[in-house]
Structure 1
Amino acid sequence: MDDLRIEYDAPNSVYFPGQAVTGKVIIQNREWIKARFLKICIHGGAHTGWSESERRHRTNTRGESESYTESVNYNATVNYLTGESIAWKSQDGQNRLPAGTNVFPFAFSLPTNCPPSFEGCHGQIRYSVHVELDRPWKFNKKQKKFFSVVPAYDLNITPTAINPMVNTVSKNTGLILKKGLVTMTVSLPKRGYVAGEILPITINIDNGSKAPVRTVRAKMTELSHFHASHGHSTHHTHHKNAEKCVGESRREVNLAPKTRGQSLLSMKIPAIVPSFECPIISVDYCISVKLDTDSLFGGTLKVEFPLIIGTIPIRQMAPLAGSTVPAVYPTVSPSAPPYPVVAGGAVGGPVYPGSSSAPPYPVVAGGASSVYPSAPPVSPGGAQGTVPSAPPPSYEESMYAGKAEDSEVEF
């Protein structure tokens, strides 16, 4: 066998919940291959796992109580998608796959409630298609390729996303010899943002101290929460939290003592997973703003705000000429065409409570004997029809109108 590979129809292998994952398996061989069947499977799910050292007590042979340390494993799994089909099967009993280029198309449906692809330090959410060529008296030939799921999380239907936020903090700087009161008021125009959007931060400073204010800085943090249990028990759930800095901004202020001033910071939202929550993994975001004075001790002030990260930005209101009635840009949500698909299982509740569900798709029950009998035929040059397979829209495209990588890591 010269080549066995999986190709997705979507550029960058990015799909939306509710969409059909379509592609093809290509086998290239100069001579016929002894094989019985080719199986194509799809899997998607969330998994968490870690180990903790815990102190235990036991009674030794002398009847004395002693303590010891035991490593306890915690894990949890939620399956969102499982499906398989026999794409090819030897019909004449000769168990021969013909020589040349053999193309086997596939189509599987994504549930509308599946969370986005995510990689964390204590868990991950992964989606993949894997194929297996059954060869008698030989090791089966296998291949796997991951794809990304990106949700349509519309901030326009999330009530708190448009709310402005203001926070004020005051501090009498200095440790023993106090140098005076410094007050910082920080304001953000809204709570919800999308990747590529600029987050403006307005900082008003009242420096009533004897020391100058040197810098203001902001840091955006991804907050991941993982849940797992030990063995088959679901009553004793353990939790792990992780923080990761995803963006920073800094500016020199040099505000003199006994003066007031204003400083502006801006931060571009990086390409990050949107806020989400599934039964065992959730991701939130926050931004912290700090002010540093020249005081050696107690010279830093800090405020913090929660953020919501979506994929469809809040539409800005643009006034019409000669009218006070604002014009609202229409909400454009990505959607998929009604592909016939192979049924897959899903477990778990809604992931995005505020987002609208994708329309239902016709489902073909059971597997196909060769290729899917009711799936559209695929020519050697590509898939029939048009698939909305472009990557998620950028902030600019969304206002006025993800990337997946192959991985050798086993789920």
Structure 2
Amino acid sequence: MGLEEFRIIFGNPHKTYYSGETVTGNVFLVLNSPKKIRGIRVRIKGEAHTSWTVRINQHLTRYLGHEEYFSTRYYIAGSESGELELSAGNHEFTFEYALPKDLPSSFESDVGHVRYSIKSTIDRPWKYDHETKDVFKVRFNYDLNTDPRAKQSVTVEESKSFGLFFASPPLTVNFSLPVIGYVPGQSIPIKVNIENESGIPVNSVRITLNKYVTYRQEKSGPDFKTVKTKITEVVNQLEDKDTVSYEQMLKIPPLQNSNLINCGIIDITYILKLKAFVNKLSSADLKMATPILIGTVPLHN
């Protein structure tokens, strides 16, 4: 055909948009000779997909999930029944599309994705069409101030006694957060308190932030797969004291929003866990956890 170059150029060089914004750009092509075509069209769509396999009784069972958020197709030059002659040289054709509001944020993994793409096609009569495709990212603006849960404080406590025949006085550990909503770059102030009357020392305390991604075949369906990832952790070595109180700051690295809002087949949860290691008694370690919310707009206070 004499097509030397065919690509999509986004108006936003970072190719990142918030839901509700308008995606703009150009389809750029270079011809080395004049050519007749029907037209040039674009298809813009957003969708989510999940896929995983499970071995059951020596047989592999595959689970698939799919959601479509929007799909639009239109001609930016010519038409399906028309005829258009393009001269040799460079050509640019503009496209734009207003994204629906409340789209889930883009997400990519080996098990599933939320993906937004644009494909441009040179429609040629009686010949194979030429196509080019690119993806762009969408971010949901999760304002923590609009979620009442984000402002809630939380305290989690566990207590345990030791001894086979006579129970020792209790070992009690708790931690508290002023709120459960944060954004990347902030630090979580975690207050840790240990009241140890058991006589068995606590060697150290480990605090871990984990991400859990749950993939489903369908919204709220019974079949799912959960993948856990450790995000960050901090360990404090403790002196042998009956009472220990301290505040630990845990900085949040760049992370995807919680919940993957408005996606029914992929969900993201963040869990903050504390584990108190009891001297020489691994089975006696105290464990506790609380969910936290990760957004894009921090709480005002």
TM-score bucket of the superposed structures, by smaller chain: 0.7 to 0.9
Is 1:255 the counterpart of 2:239? The answer is yes
Distance 1:250 1:269 in 2: 12
Instruction: Kindly indicate whether residue 12 of structure 2 is the aligned counterpart of residue 10 of structure 1.
Output: yes
8 A contact 2:175–2:193 mirrored in 1: yes
1:239 lines up with 2:228 in the alignment:
no
Check 1:237–1:90 CA distance in 2 against 1; reply closer, same or farther (3 A cut).
Answer: closer
Q: 1:200 to 1:11 in 2, by over 3 A?
A: farther
Find the counterpart in structure 2 of residue 76 from structure 1. Answer: 65
Contact conserved, 1:247 with 1:267, CA < 8 A, in 2?
no
Matching residue of 2:48: 46
Point out the more displaced range, 26-35 or 146-155.
26-35
Counting matched residue pairs gives: 297
Which aligned runs of 4 or more in structure 1 are off by greater than 4 angstroms?
173-180
Give identity over the alignment, percent. 30
Residues 1:271 and 2:257 are matched in the alignment: no
2:298 to 309, 313, 322: 313
Identify the residue that residue 197 of structure 1 maps to in structure 2. Answer: 186
1:216 shift after superposition: 1.8
Structure 1 pair 299/262, CA: closer, same or farther in 2 (3 Å)?
Answer: same
**Alpha-carbon shift at residue 137 of structure 1 (Å):** 5.8
Which residue number in structure 2 is paired with residue 220 of structure 1?
A: 209
What corresponds to 1:88 in structure 2? 77
Q: Tell me how far apart the structure 2 counterparts of residues 161 and 216 of structure 1 sit (CA, whole Å).
A: 26
Residue type at the aligned position of 1:305 = T
Q: Distance in 2 between matches of 1:102 and 1:174?
A: 82
For 2:8, the aligned partner's letter is I
Is the contact between residue 154 and residue 178 of structure 2 (CA under 8 Å) also seen in structure 1? yes
**Greater Cα shift, 170-179 or 24-33:** 170-179
CA contact (8 A) 1:35 1:133 kept: yes
- How much does 1:294 deviate? 2.3
Equivalent position amino acid for 2:250 in 1: M
Taking the aligned partners of 2:46 and 2:83, their CA distance within structure 1 comes to: 35
Q: Secondary structure at the match of 1:195?
A: coil
Aligned with residue 140 of structure 1, among 129, 154, 159: 129
1:110 to 84, 89, 99: 99
- Kindly provide the amino acid, as one letter, of the partner of residue 176 in structure 2: S
Greater share of strand residues, 1 or 2? Answer: 2
Q: Do the aligned partners of residues 253 and 103 (structure 1) sit closer, same or farther apart at CA in structure 2, a change above 3 Å counting?
A: same
The 10-residue stretch of structure 1 (167-176 or 283-292) with the greater mean CA deviation from structure 2: 167-176
Distance 1:173 1:9, change over 3 A: farther
What SS is found at the alignment partner of 1:18? coil
TM-score (norm 1): 0.65
- Could you say what secondary structure the match of 1:124 adopts? strand
Q: Please, which of 31, 37, 40 is the counterpart of residue 39 of structure 2?
A: 37
1:2 aligned counterpart, secondary structure: strand
CA distance in 2, matches of 1:254, 1:267: 18
Distance apart, 1:52 and its partner CA? 3.3
Question: Amino acid of the residue matched to residue 303 of structure 1?
Answer: M
In structure 2, the gaps of 5 or more residues are none
Check the 8 A contact 2:214/2:225 in 1, yes or no: yes
- For normalisation by structure 2, the TM-score amounts to 0.87
The structure whose RCO (Cα within 8 Å, separation 6+) is larger is: 1
Deviations 1:10-63 (A, max 9, x none): 2421111111111111112343345332111101011222333445xxxxxxxx
Report the equivalent of 1:130: 119
Partner residue, 2:266: 281
| Amino acid in structure 1 at the alignment position of 2:212 | L
AA aligned to 1:17 is S
User: Structure 2 vs 1, CA of residues 78 and 176 (structure 1 numbering), >3 Å: closer, same or farther?
Assistant: farther
Could you report, residue by residue, the CA deviation over 1:243-279 in whole angstroms, capped at 9, with x for unpaired residues? 332522213332215x211233222222222123432
Q: Deviations over 1:309-355 (max 9, x none)?
A: 22111001xxxxxxxxxxxxxxxxxxxxxxxxxxxxxxxxxxxxxxx
Conserved? CA contact 2:106–2:115, under 8 Å: yes
Please tell me whether the aligned partners of residues 64 and 217 of structure 2 are also in contact (alpha carbons under 8 angstroms). Answer: yes
Matches within 5 A, 1:139-178: 139-172=128-161
Q: CA deviation at 1:287?
A: 0.9
